[in-house]
Structure 1
Amino acid sequence: MEPLQRIGKATVDVLEVLLGADEPCWGLEIIKLTGRPSGSVYPLLDRLERAGWVTSSWDDDADRRGPRRRMYLLTPEGAVEARRVVARAHLAPVVRPVPRTAQ
């Protein structure tokens, strides 16, 4: 498993959804739960999979209508790292810009 080079708020949001899931999640479900656009979520999922944090597979539910869904699941090692990343993100102080006063 590889460490992630960049861990932004969108990555934390996706990891939180995956950590909170009892079973594999599909991409559109993650998009809806995070409120993030597909252009952010799918590249993140791909990066997480390439790093070994997530595995994916195609849903094989023949009774479900609609297109097949790609299902995502944290690996055991990925879950350990995801918990660490999420915990650190929640402990980090929120930095807000200080408004400038008129001079």
Structure 2
Amino acid sequence: MEMLPRIGRATVDVLTVLLDSPEPRWGLELITMTGRPSGTVYPLLDRLEKAGWVESRWDDDAERRGPRRRCYTLTPDGAEAARDVVRQARSRHVRRSFGPARGAEATG
């Protein structure tokens, strides 16, 4: 599994949805759930798959009408890495939200 060269907010959003999902998610579903555009989500899923974080397969549901769906799940190593990434992102968000105000001097 490769480390990702850059992990932005969109990556964190997609990883969060995949971590919280007990079943595979397809691309359009990830787009809807994250609020990110397809031009962000699909290239991101491709990078995650090439890095070994995500695996995909075609949905074989013959009962469902419409085009086939590509379903995505985290690999075991990808899930472990995703948990670390999401935890770090939440920690940064909390520090930004509740940390000292910019320009505040330390008291001691």
Output the TM-score relative to the length of structure 2.
0.86
Q: What one-letter code is carried by the residue in structure 2 that aligns with 1:91?
A: S
Deviation at 1:66, TM superposition (A): 0.4
Q: Percent identity among equivalent residues?
A: 68
Kindly indicate whether residue 62 of structure 2 is the aligned counterpart of residue 62 of structure 1. yes
- 1:94 is paired with a residue whose SS is helix
Q: Spell out the pairing of 1:1-103 with structure 2 (5 A cutoff).
A: 1-92=1-92, 93-94=95-96
Q: What one-letter code is carried by the residue in structure 1 that aligns with 2:82?
A: A
Deviation at 1:94, TM superposition (A): 2.7
RMSD of aligned residue pairs (Cα, Å): 1.1
Provide the rounded CA distance (Å) in 2 between the counterparts of 1:31 and 1:52: 21
* Structure 2 spans left out of the alignment, 5+ residues: 103-108
Moved over 4 A (4+): none
Number of aligned residue pairs: give it: 96
Deviation at 1:83, TM superposition (A): 0.2
- 2:96 is paired with a residue whose SS is coil
Output the TM-score relative to the length of structure 1.
0.90
Provide the rounded CA distance (Å) in 1 between the counterparts of 2:64 and 2:81: 33
* Structure 1 spans left out of the alignment, 5+ residues: 99-103
C-alpha distance after superposition, 1:37-75 (max 9, x if no partner): 000000000000000000000000000000000000000
Provide the rounded CA distance (Å) in 2 between the counterparts of 1:6 and 1:42: 16
Structure with the higher fraction of residues in helix conformation: 2
Moved more, 62-71 or 86-95: 86-95
- 2:56 is paired with a residue whose SS is strand
